Amino acid sequence: MSTVTFDDLGLAEPLLRAISDEGYSEPTPIQQTAIPSALAGRDIIGTAKTGTGKTAAFALPLLQKLIGRPKSDRKHISAVILTPTRELALQIDESVRNYGRHVGVRTVVVLGGVKSDPQIRKLQQGVDVVVATPGRMLDLMRQGHVQLGRVEVFVLDEADRMLDMGFVHDVRQIEGHVPKERQTFFFSATMSPAIRSLASTMLVDPETVAVTPPASVADNIDQQVMYVDMKDKPDLLAHVLSSMEVDRTLIFTRTKVAATHVARQLDGRGISAEAIHSNKTQSQRQRALAAFDKGRVQVLVATDIMARGIDVEDITHVINYELPEDAENYVHRIGRTARAGKAGVALSLCDLEEISLLRNVERFTRIPLRVVEDQPYHSVGVAACRDAATRKAKSRSRAGSARGSGSKWSR
């Protein structure tokens, strides 16, 4: 079977040169499927696992539209990319600039948490692509600093997360200022019915690109669970980080308070850790990410708002100190490891109150987590409760099947 290369996708030479500069030779499945349709002018609804190249799938066709554009047109914004988190906006901007280095693309990141004056000055100088979080984008639009009347490409990245975070009203307002005659891309790792409903009002005859089931996780992630009493979680976490082959580790909690508390506890035990969440200023968040990326900090403790905004290479372990309320967030959390074909470990610490959350995760992903009992804080009580819940669920399932069979034969 012949191998598909980027040369086969119809991309222009300046983009192929930039892709080669980045060290890429073969497109990922989402790129193979989405890029030709996008270059043909189709609207796209794209779904794929995290870490599989969704950014390039929309950025490369977007950039191809800018090639050869007259300078007189470059005083107008040609493309808008909306994304839910500041970190993701910065990463997308970096990717667009890297892929567009031979195109002469001009970009600006519009996001909150920092002063708006530098963003306004850059907008006034003229840009091709705006990468933005919805709140700051709306603020600058209301102040008259952003005009979208000439936008040709409108991108919503992590579309389902936008809905989860309550951005749908802002997104609709921004989209209302973009011309109807445009190309629109919706990309996400998951695609709920609510997002499809939203897409139906914004896209025209879209090509649906779903290279993997929405709830799937990478095959090279070893998904584990440790049963532990709540009071023992800090000790178990310290044990895991100090005694196992754990290198660069990302820990998730459900709340900002918990993230700060866990980071302080680890620091007190001699394990370098930083907390990152929405209460931190943008400069604090960037400093923490930079320290983590450069290896000065071993552990980053984050909330779910960071589950799609952290793209750091070589994260060997993702630890769910607290399981998420929403099973979809589990997929995004553990997608921070095992990126670019590498292997990784996803470990969940499950206490008695989280058994139902664990079952939700396993139902959603359809993959049972591997139980690790060989650890000093293994809770027999939690394990027994989990086994009882599993038996009860199976019993209900058998009873439902029996009722169905009975009704069939009684007819």
Domain parsing of the chain, residue ranges: 6-210, 221-393
**Range in 30-34, 190-194, 296-300 with the lowest mean pLDDT:** 190-194
Q: What is the helix (H) or strand (E) element at residue 240, kind and residue range? A: helix 233-243
Distance CA 61, CA 73 (A): 18
Phi, psi of 180 (to 5 degrees): -65, -35
pLDDT over 50 at 360, yes or no: yes
Bridge partners of residue 273, in order along the sequence = 299
CATH architecture of 6-210: 3-Layer(aba) Sandwich (3.40)
Average pLDDT over residues 261-288: 89
Instruction: Show the tokens assigned to 126.
Output: 């003229």
Is the Cβ–Cβ distance between 134 and 82 less than 8 Å? yes
Which 8-state DSSP code applies to residue 296?
Answer: S
Instruction: Show the tokens assigned to 304.
Output: 């779910």
pLDDT of residue 73: 63
pLDDT of residue 408: 38
pLDDT over 80 at 375, yes or no: yes
Instruction: Show the tokens assigned to 359.
Output: 């079952």
pLDDT over 60 at 2, yes or no: no
pLDDT of residue 215: 62
Average pLDDT over residues 370-374: 96
Which 8-state DSSP code applies to residue 338?
Answer: S
pLDDT over 90 at 140, yes or no: yes
pLDDT over 80 at 398, yes or no: no
**Range in 119-123, 143-147, 251-255, 310-314 with the lowest mean pLDDT:** 310-314
pLDDT of residue 403: 54
> Smallest Cα–Cα separation from 109: which of 309, 301, 312?
309
pLDDT of residue 197: 85
For 221-393, CATH number?
Answer: 3.40.50.300
pLDDT of residue 188: 78
Phi, psi of 351 (to 5 degrees): -100, 180
**CA separation, residue 106 to residues 14, 79, 116 (Å):** 15, 11, 18
Question: Per residue in 21-74, pLDDT tens?
Answer: 988 888 988 999 999 999 999 999 998 766 678 899 999 999 999 897 766 666
pLDDT of residue 304: 84
pLDDT of residue 396: 67
pLDDT of residue 13: 96
Instruction: Show the tokens assigned to 163.
Output: 């809905």
Question: Per residue in 97-109, pLDDT tens?
Answer: 999 999 989 999 9
pLDDT of residue 411: 34
β pairing state of 44-47 and 207-210: parallel
For residue 342, which amino acid is it?
Answer: K
> Smallest Cα–Cα separation from 382: which of 254, 225, 237, 206?
225
In three-state secondary structure terms, 79 is strand
Name residues whose C-beta falls within 8 Å of residue 286's C-beta, 6 or more positions apart in sequence: 90
pLDDT of residue 284: 86
**Average predicted confidence (pLDDT) for the chain:** 88
In three-state secondary structure terms, 276 is strand
Average pLDDT over residues 286-304: 89
* C-alpha count within 13 angstroms, C-beta hemisphere, residue 46: 33
Which 8-state DSSP code applies to residue 378?
Answer: -
Please indicate whether residue 218 or residue 366 has the higher confidence score (pLDDT).
366
Domains 6-210 and 221-393 share a fold: yes
pLDDT of residue 68: 74
Bridge partners of residue 132, in order along the sequence = 82, 110
Phi, psi of 232 (to 5 degrees): -95, 0
> Smallest Cα–Cα separation from 67: which of 78, 51, 56?
78
Q: What percent of the chain has pLDDT over 70?
A: 91
β pairing state of 317-320 and 344-350: parallel
What band does 135 get if pLDDT is binned at 50, 70 and 90? very high
